[in-house]
Amino acid sequence: MADEALHGNEDARPLRDYVVPTMNGARSSIARPAIQANNFEIKPAIIQTIQTSVQFAGMPNDDPNAHIANFLEICDTFKQNGVSDNAIRLRLFPFSLRDKAKE
């Protein structure tokens, strides 16, 4: 009877399905700050610079500290009135990730 209860249920899932976290419906806990500027726009050239020079893939030989330092160096090259540094950085950071690091 116990064997029938274990193997007779087609909805039974392996134990690993219960312990592996899923992102279904999960929202990011990072809140981007509001922007007070009327005409805020991140220029495509800035995004392209981030994507070509400071991409982080999450590989064993990638240095996350160097990635952050290089990312901040590029972000510090431009400012916009009414927009905090953190607002700009949080909007640009996803463009600095690729492959395994972006998952």
Whether the pLDDT of residue 3 is over 80: the answer is no
Confidence of residue 68 (pLDDT cuts 50, 70, 90): very high
Q: What is the DSSP string of the chain?
A: -HHHHHHS-TT---THHHHS---TT---SPPPPP---TT----HHHHHHHHHHS-B---TT--HHHHHHHHHHHHTT--BTTB-HHHHHHHHGGGGB-GGGG-
49-63 pLDDT per residue, tens? 999 998 999 999 999
Residue 91 pLDDT exceeds 60: yes
Per-residue pLDDT tens for 10-33? 667 787 777 776 666 666 667 777
